[in-house]
Structure 1
């Protein structure tokens, strides 16, 4: 069955969508919507510059490889707070993220963003699904992303797929940085993602966290900014698994393979606590 696309003429209303998210706490079903949302968006230079500053990217004439997530965020919110989406948005856990940069993202202005969900599967702690995002320019597909999301407490028939064992890569320390206490609020201002678990210790405790934690996509963006000299500008896939959250404030250490067409990365904290692991490779 081909996916049905709904084209939006007006931007999603984020305050209204946050209200929907805050007032919905129940699981209402076990079937994902069979449609996607699309919308034309424009890159705004001032917002892009603010994002670069918060995430550590330099101005090189290209969109940062993680920036399309920001362009798609409001559309994702609209899809994940729709009446026929069965899971409450607050409480979803971002387990993994994979992006594919198909062509160099330079001279980018007007884009078409599409989002949909797919691949609902049982998980040891509930159910997982993929939030899929695509970005096209006038020449065609430009960028793609797959975010693996967990909803606790969902009961699905069947067995959860076994996790693939992680190989041991030879990594060396590349750099380290501070994740300051206010980085959740600063990233929220440039991304639109005001999830309470990232904003303050007070709001994080409402959801079971003793401290605010950094956004997973800030961790990935800050990592790719640090790896910018390692990675090609296009024809690349960068996949990460989010492990233990980065509590704010804290210091983190980035370990990586030597520069090359493929490699591995790991983000660690005090006591070698693993926050994120992943790899990059050329597109097949």
Structure 2
């Protein structure tokens, strides 16, 4: 059976896609397995104005090289398009972004023409439901220049198999760091530059309706801001992994701790609640030789 390819001619409206996803969530019962579907968009050119707005919200300096997280920003509408397909078995409403890994094979510049693609794979058990990997790629011509691996948790869903044990981890870095005072409208700021209008990020009341005590920051803002803080010290090729451990509530105050060590120049990162010290996001950056 061949893969079904859905080719987008332009960037879809995420607001409309979210409305479609919400309307169809109750009918998605986790049955039938992941569809063999790939969503693609070819010939994409970066809008310098949109990039500048994104850089401003996330803390990047505008330059020719695209932030790794901005490439995720470009493929995210493809992911949501995938989630709204009739045979996609899991509901977008209530899903949780657990981890996000970005692989930069080489710097990508804002004047290059990009081909984007996304598909879902590897549905497997989680103690709270089912987790699925969403793979995204960016090509320049025939060259693979960037990859994304986003792991989503669909709470309350079930799939056959055993829940794997959680691997042992070293302590995340702690100590002095960069203090960020996050405003209550940060979710709305990031939604403007990303198109991600998930209600949990937009307003305290809509977040409370989804079970959160207040609005929470987008995980992709956290990853972007953490990488932006060390952007001038990143190599040309690297793998950046972020694990979103606890919601980053807004308004709030956080502390970014970044330690560089090892012969390869790897980074260990942690975003913590500044007052309590609670680990909110854990990150690693590994150079590709």
Residue aligning to 2:256:
254
Q: 1:14 to 1:170 in 2, by over 3 A?
A: closer
Residue aligning to 2:51:
48
- Determine the C-alpha separation between the residues in 1 that align with 2:146 and 2:174: 28
Residue aligning to 1:33:
35
Residue aligning to 1:8:
8
Q: Is residue 116 of structure 2 the alignment partner of residue 113 of structure 1? A: yes
TM normalised by structure 2 equals 0.92
TM normalised by structure 1 equals 0.94
Residue aligning to 2:143:
140
Residue aligning to 1:278:
283
- Determine the C-alpha separation between the residues in 2 that align with 1:103 and 1:84: 35
**Secondary structure of the structure 1 residue equivalent to 2:190:** helix
What is the number of residues matched between the two proteins?
283
Structure 1 gap segments, 5+ residues each = none
Alpha-carbon offset, residue 263 of structure 1: 2.0
Residue aligning to 1:240:
242
| Residues 171 and 264 in structure 1, CA contact (< 8 A), matched pair in contact too | no
Alpha-carbon offset, residue 161 of structure 1: 1.0
| Residues 257 and 265 in structure 1, CA contact (< 8 A), matched pair in contact too | yes
Q: 1:79 to 1:273 in 2, by over 3 A?
A: same
Residue aligning to 1:81:
84
| Residues 135 and 147 in structure 2, CA contact (< 8 A), matched pair in contact too | yes
CA RMSD across the alignment? 1.8
**Secondary structure of the structure 2 residue equivalent to 1:89:** coil
**Secondary structure of the structure 2 residue equivalent to 1:198:** helix
Aligned counterpart for 1:193 among listed residues 193, 196, 215: 196
| Residues 122 and 160 in structure 1, CA contact (< 8 A), matched pair in contact too | yes
Q: 1:53 to 1:13 in 2, by over 3 A?
A: closer
| Residues 125 and 153 in structure 1, CA contact (< 8 A), matched pair in contact too | yes
| Residues 38 and 112 in structure 1, CA contact (< 8 A), matched pair in contact too | yes
Alpha-carbon offset, residue 202 of structure 1: 1.0
Residue aligning to 1:23:
23
Q: Is residue 268 of structure 2 the alignment partner of residue 264 of structure 1? A: yes
Q: 1:110 to 1:61 in 2, by over 3 A?
A: same
Structure 2 gap segments, 5+ residues each = none
| Residues 99 and 243 in structure 2, CA contact (< 8 A), matched pair in contact too | yes
**Secondary structure of the structure 2 residue equivalent to 1:190:** helix
Aligned counterpart for 2:187 among listed residues 184, 189, 194: 184
- Determine the C-alpha separation between the residues in 1 that align with 2:107 and 2:168: 33
